[in-house]
Amino acid sequence: MALDRKPVPNDLSAFWMPFTANRQFKKAPRMLVGASGMFYHTADGREVLDGTAGLWCCNAGHCRPRITQAIQEQAAELDYAPAFQMGHPKAFELASALRDMAPEGMEHVFFTNSGSESVETALKIAIAYHRARGEGARTRLIGRERGYHGVNFGGISVGGIVNNRKMFGTLLGGVDHLPHTHLPDQNAFTRGQPEHGAHLADDLERIVALHGAETIAAVIVEPMAGSTGVLMPPKGYLERLREICTKHGILLIFDEVITGFGRLGSAFAADHFDVMPDMMTVAKGLTNGVIPMGAVLTTPAIHDAFMQGPEHVIELFHGYTYSGNPIAAAAGLATLETYREEGLFENAASLASYWEDALHSLKDQPHVIDIRNMGLVGAIELEPIAGDPTRRAFGAFLAAYEKNLMIRTTGDIIALSPPLIIGKAEIDRIVETLSEVLRTLD
C-alpha cells in the first residue's frame, strides 16, 4: 500500500547512532516514520513488514491502542515518582503481574531500564548475595563465548563477542567463559534443539577445577543465544549446566531479554526448556519495546538473604532513578494484559511448526549453509564472502528492505523474530521475499 511521503530532517549530523555505520547510513538514510500492527511506515511512503519485532521487542506488534492509552493516562495522572524510599501503585502491580507470569519460583522483581542494566543488576546481586551469606570470596562471573549481555562493562565482560569487547580495555577481572554451543558440522539444519553439544556444559567443571568453586558467584547464559545468531541450546545442555551449578553452589542466571515474553512459544525459555535458573533478566517485550524498562527476577532464597539485618537499613545499595517508572510500569501492565488476553504466546506456539516448515523451505536457496528455528524465532546462515564477512547478509538486509521486509543481520546470519501477532499469510510473505532476495545476492 502506498502511503504519504514524510519529510526527514535535513541535519543528521548530531545524532551519533548506536551500532551503526554512521557515515554510510547518513548518505542513504532509512527512516521509519510510523508503525501499525505488523508494519512500519517509511518516510518514502512504503509499508514494510516487520520481520524482527523491532529489535526483538515489539512482541504484540506496533502502536497497540491499549498500550498507547495506558501510557497517556498514566502520564496525565502521575508522570514520575521515585521508587527510593517511596512507592506508587503501578510498579507494585507490574511486579506482581510479572511474578505471576514467570516460572514458579521467580518471586521477586527488581526494575531496571534496559537489558544491559538488568544484566549489571543480576551480576551485582549475585556477588552481594554470596557476601550476605558469608561467602564473600565468590566474586567470579562465568559467561559464554558468543553470549550477548548488553553493552555495559559487566555485560561485555561476561559476554563473548569480540567486537563488543576489543575497543574497551581490560574489562572486569575474574571472568571466565564457557565455550559456545554452535557446532555447524554436526547440527546444521536442525529443526528445534540440536542433538549434539550437551557435553559442552561440562566445561564448567574444568572452570570450577581451575578457579575453585568457592570463588565463583554465578554463570550467566542466554538460554537461546539471540544476537549472535539464534543458537539453540543442544538437548540436555541447560540441564547439565543447572546440575553443575547446583552441585557447586553457583547461581545460574538466564538472560531472557530476547527469549522472555513468548518468543519460543512459552512465556519464558525457562518454562520452555523446563530448567529453572536462580535469576532471570528481562527487558524488551516487558513493555512491548514501547518504553524502556527491564527487570531482574529472583528466587526467594536470593531475595531473603538480603532481608536479614536491621529493618531500617537499606538492604541493597543499587537502583536507578527510573526503576519502576510509573509510565513504563503502566506500559508493562498493558503489555502483559495484551499478551494474555490475545493469547499471543499460544499463537507463537501454534504457528511454530508452520514457521519451521516455511523457513526450512529456503534450504536449497543460494548461499544458505544453515537454518535454525524454534517458536517464532529463526536464523538463516549464509556462506560468508571470503575476506569480506558480513557483506552478503548485509546485502540481504538492504535488498529485503527494498522489497518491504525488515530483517536483521548479525555477521552473515539473517535473524528473524516477527511480532507474535503474525499469521500464516505474513509468514509466507517473509519466506517468499527472502527467497527472492537470496537469489539476487552475489
Which CB, 213 or 231, lies closer to ligand PMP?
231
Q: Which of 97, 8, 43 is nearest to 331 (CA)?
A: 97
What are the grid coordinates assigned to 205, written together?
Answer: 567443571
Pick one of 74, 190, 227, 417: the residue that binds ligand PMP (CB under 6 A): 227
- The pairing of beta strand 32-36 with beta strand 368-374: unpaired
**Stretch of residues binding ligand PMP (CB under 6 A), selected from 165-173, 207-215, 220-228, 359-367:** 220-228
Q: Residue 40 burial (CB < 10 Å; 0-12/13-18/19+)? A: buried
How many Å separate Cα 433 from the centre of its chain?
25
The footprint of ligand PMP on this chain (CB under 6 A) covers a number of residues equal to: 14
* Nearer Cβ to ligand PMP (258/380): 258
Residue 199 C-beta: closest distance to ligand PMP, Å: 24
Stretch that binds ligand PMP, among 4-12, 145-153, 193-201, 373-381 (CB under 6 A): 145-153
Q: Which residue's CB is nearer to ligand PMP, number 51 or number 150? A: 150
Site for ligand PMP in 111-140 (CB under 6 A): 114-116, 119
Q: Which stretch binds ligand PMP (CB under 6 A): 109-117, 120-128, 243-251, 322-330?
A: 109-117
Q: How far is the CB of 247 from ligand PMP (least distance, A)?
A: 26
Q: Is 150 in the site for ligand PMP (CB under 6 A)?
A: yes
Q: Which residue number, 64 or 408, has a Cβ lying nearer to ligand PMP?
A: 408
- Whichever of 241 and 431 has its CB closer to ligand PMP, that residue is 241
Q: CA 287, CA 4: separation in Å to the nearest integer?
A: 29
Residue 65 CA to residue 304 CA, distance in Å, equals: 39
Question: Closest CB to ligand PMP belongs to which residue?
Answer: 115
Q: How far apart (Å, rounded) are the C-alpha atoms in residues 406 and 436?
A: 14
Residue 432 grid coordinates: 517468499
The residue written with cell numbers 559442552 in the block is: 200
Q: Is-contact 216 142, C-beta < 8 A? A: yes
As beta bridge partners, residue 10 has none
As a whole number of angstroms, the distance between CA 354 and CA 430 comes to 13
The smaller minimum CB distance to ligand PMP, of residues 146 and 240, is found at: 146
286, amino acid identity? L
Long-range contacts made by residues 80-84, C-beta under 8 angstroms, separation at least 24?
80/325, 80/326, 80/327, 81/326, 82/321, 83/111, 83/319, 83/323, 83/324, 84/319
Shortest CB 6 distance to ligand PMP, Å: 27
- In the complex, least distance from residue 95 CB atom to ligand PMP, rounded to whole angstroms: 19
Out of 222, 271, 278, 370, which residue is the one contacting ligand PMP (CB under 6 A)?
Answer: 222
Stretch that binds ligand PMP, among 39-47, 222-230, 306-314, 367-375 (CB under 6 A): 222-230
User: Is 67 within 8 Å of 428 (Cβ atoms)?
Assistant: no
Identify which of residues 208 and 220 has a Cβ nearer to ligand PMP in the complex: 220
User: Can you tell me the distance from the alpha carbon of 419 to that of 427, in angstroms, rounded to the nearest whole number?
Assistant: 11
Shortest Å, Cβ 133 to ligand PMP = 27
Residues 235 and 156: their CA atoms lie apart, in Å, by 27
| Residue whose CB is less far from ligand PMP, 103 or 115 | 115
State the minimum distance, in angstroms, from the CB of residue 85 to ligand PMP.
27
Identified binder of ligand PMP from the candidate list 111, 148, 322, 397, rule CB under 6 A: 148
308-323 residues labelled b (16+ CB within 10 A) or e (exposed): eeeeeeeeeeebbebb
Pairing outcome for strands 377-382 and 413-416: antiparallel
| Site for ligand PMP, residues 241 to 280, rule: CB under 6 A | 255, 257-258
Closer residue to ligand PMP in complex, CB, 113/373:
113
* Among residues 149, 263, 303, 408, the one that binds ligand PMP under rule CB under 6 A: 149
Q: Is 322 in the site for ligand PMP (CB under 6 A)?
A: no
Q: How far is the CB of 222 from ligand PMP (least distance, A)?
A: 5
Query: Alpha helices of 254-295 — where are they, by DSSP H?
Result: 269-273
List residues near ligand PMP by CB under 6 A. Answer: 114-116, 119, 148-150, 222, 226-227, 255, 257-258, 283
